[in-house]
Amino acid sequence: MHGFANPARFLRLARPATPWVLGLGLLIAGAALGWGLWFAPADSLQGDTVRIVYLHVPTAWLGMMGWGAIATASFAEIVWRHPLATIAARAVAVPGAVFTAVCLATGSLWGRPAWGAWWVWDGRLTSMLVLLFLYFGYMALAAASEEQGQGQGRVAAIFGLVGAVNIPVIHYSVIWWNSLHQPPSITMGSSAMAAEFLVPLLASTLGFTLIFAGVVLMRMRTILASAQAEARLRRKAEGAA
Amino acid sequence: MIKSDMLKPKHQRLVLLGVAVVALLGAALLAVWALRHQASYFYVPSDIVSHPPESDRAVRLGGMVVKGSMHNAPDGVTVRFLVSDGKAQVPVRFAGIRPALFVEGSGVVAEGHLVAGTFVADNLLAKHDEKYVPREMKDMGAARKAVAQTQ
């Protein structure tokens, strides 16, 4: 595992992997969305509004997984001081925030016809909104520590770990508390969702997960490249002085 | 030898951070446990029956619409129905536009006041459950059963 934490070795693997991961993700997600929008059946109660699930559930899952990745990387950053862990956490923040925002937007669009309200302050919706704000906070902290010349900003890593307590709260909000949002349809080993919906949903989740991974790889390479360019400029400036 | 190995800063950080994460999770769980009533979005009928709110207090009532209990008033906008949580039932009156998913046997959240034992709703929200059933299957009448079998 420590071998992959070497930036040079990481780049050797990430450079050829990026287009494959991203391309495969776009292909699978596109096919799954097309399937969900045109070929999957309408729901007996929700009608055609059910089709938003093929975007809503994958983005919700990735918004939460994104913070899980930030927390894991933050842990590795604090304990083992791996520079690549810092870079990975930074790279996840923006796609994580975007996916969380898409989840909130699609949920709101579905809520109006299904529930009769664009937004309600129940446990699930509120904790998901908190997650979006946590992403904003993380990005601000990471940018601030970078500005101060501390690329290894510990504050952002601690924030990443503390913010992780929101993830189980999001998941269990519909179980612990009465909420308007429905409980999970897919749990360990069982599904309250007919296969006609479940199969395209799983395909779309796989596709969006690959897209997410591809974007994170791209962002990690960008951060590494800009750090290298900066180091080179600094050496040049020192050489000239 | 073992002792100096234990004191390596890397291991020290690992142990400290592990303890910190466990403490943090414990604190969060306690907070969530303390909030279990306040953080609920609605009261269920047995809450309303055992602790009736004052008539000037706006509350939300959530539960299942009892099958066969829905009656439309002759004025065309008012509907009366019973909301149940399996233990208690509360009669509800509502005048206005109903959400599309509001049907008998399905979940509902009503916002309003309790007036003399009847819940007068200002707004209705339909609560969708976790079951997703294709329209064609429902027409065959076997949908719920088929879903129940996969569980």
Each residue's pLDDT tens digit, B8-59:
888 888 888 889 889 988 998 888 888 877 778 899 999 888 888 888 889 9
Are B72 and B114 within one domain? yes
* CA distance linking residue A10 with residue A8, whole number of Å: 5
Of the residues A35, A72, A122, A171, the best mutation for testing chain B's interface (the one with the most B CB atoms within 10 Å of its CB) is A122
A113 → closest Cβ in B98, B100, B129: B100
pLDDT score of A156 more than 50: yes
Rounded to a whole number, what is the distance in Å from the CA of B99 to chain A's nearest CA?
5
What percent of chain A has a predicted confidence (pLDDT) above 70? 95
Of A114-118, A206-210, B136-140, the poorest mean pLDDT is in: B136-140
Partner residues linked to B120 by β-bridges: B93, B113
Half-sphere exposure of B52 (CA within 13 A, CB side): 14
Residue B132 lies in a domain: no
The answer to whether residue B147 is domain-embedded is no
CATH number at residue B53: 2.40.50.140
Do residues B86 and B111 both lie within one domain?
yes
Beta pairing, strands B118-127 & B89-95? parallel
Q: What is the rounded CA–CA span in Å between residue A224 and residue A216?
A: 12
Q: Answer yes or no: is B146 within a domain.
A: no
Burial B86-122 (b: 16+ CB within 10 A, else e): eeebbebbbeeeebebbeeeebbbbbbbbeeeebbbe
Q: How far apart are the first and last CA of chain B?
A: 55
Position A66 scores a pLDDT of 97
Which positions 42-71 of B are in contact with A (Cβ < 8 Å)?
A: 42-44, 62
Provide the number of structural domains found in chain B.
Answer: 2
Residues B26 and B53 grouped into a single domain: no
pLDDT band at A63 (very low <50, low <70, confident <90, very high): very high
Asked whether the beta carbons of residue B128 and residue A165 sit closer than 8 angstroms, the reply is no
**Which of A72, A56, A239, A177 has the alpha carbon at shortest distance from B37?**
A177
Amino acid present at A67: W
Q: Is the pLDDT of residue B3 over 80?
A: no
The alpha-carbon gap from A153 to the nearest alpha carbon of chain B, in Å, equals: 16
Quote the tokens at residue A88. Answer: 């990975």
Instruction: Note whether A187 contacts B: Cβ–Cβ < 8 A.
Output: no
Q: Is B38 on the interface with A (CB under 8 A)?
A: no
Contact A68, B150 (CB under 8 A): no
**Share above pLDDT 90 across residues of chain A, in percent, rounded to a whole number:** 60
Answer whether B137 sits within 8 Å of A194, measured CB to CB.
yes
Whether the predicted interface score ipTM is above 0.90: no
CA-nearest residue to B96 within chain A is: A116
Q: Is B132 close to A192, i.e. CB distance below 8 A?
A: yes
Q: Kindly compute the dihedral angle of the four CA atoms of residues B76, B109, B91, B112, in this order, to the nearest 10 degrees.
A: -80
* A91-100, A123-132, A145-154, B22-31, range with the lowest pLDDT: A145-154
Q: A9 in the Ramachandran plot: left (φ > 0), alpha (ψ -120 to 50) or beta?
A: alpha
DSSP 8-state assignment for residue B120 = E
Is A30 or B9 the better-scoring residue by pLDDT? A30
Residue A18, classed as helix, strand or coil, is: helix
What pLDDT score does B40 carry? 83
B135 touches chain A (CB under 8 A): yes
**Same domain (yes/no): B29, B83:** no
**Co-location of B21 and B77 in the same domain:** no
Name which residue leads in pLDDT, A190 or B145. A190
Task: Looking at the structure, tell me whether residues B83 and B107 fall in a common domain.
Answer: yes
- The whole-number average pLDDT for the span B68-88 is 89
> Based on the domain organization, do B69 and B28 belong to the same domain?
no
Is the pLDDT assigned to residue A233 strictly greater than 60?
yes
Q: Kindly list the distances between the CA atom of residue A96 and the CA atoms of A87, A139, A161, B112, in Å, as whole numbers in the listed order.
A: 14, 11, 15, 38
B131 secondary structure, DSSP code: -
> What tokens were used for A32?
């799954």
Same domain, B63 and B114: yes
Residues above pLDDT 90, as percent of chain B: 25
Query: What φ, ψ does residue B122 adopt, rounded to 5°?
Result: -90, -20
Instruction: Find the domain containing B28 and state its range.
Output: 2-34
Picking from B24, B39, B135, the nearest residue to A41 by CB comes out as B135
Both B61 and B108 in one domain: the answer is yes
B30 in the same domain as B63: no
Above 80 in pLDDT, residue B1?
Answer: no
Q: Tell me the two tokens of residue B47.
A: 């809450």
Residue B40 lies in a domain: no
Query: Quick one: pLDDT band at residue A150, thresholds 50, 70, 90?
Result: low
* Lookup: tokens for B36: 């279990």
What is the pLDDT averaged over residues B83-103?
A: 88
Query: Closest partner residue to A176 among B32, B125, B131, by Cβ?
Result: B32
The answer as to whether B22 is a domain residue is yes
Check residues A132 and B102 and name the one with the higher pLDDT.
Answer: A132
Report whether pLDDT(B130) > 90. no
Is residue A2 over pLDDT 60?
no
Cα–Cα dist B120/A179, whole Å: 20
Question: Both B54 and B83 in a single domain?
Answer: yes
**Closest residue by Cα to residue A116 from B57, B115, B96:** B96
State the nearest Cα–Cα gap between B150 and chain A, in angstroms: 7
Same domain, B57 and B123: yes
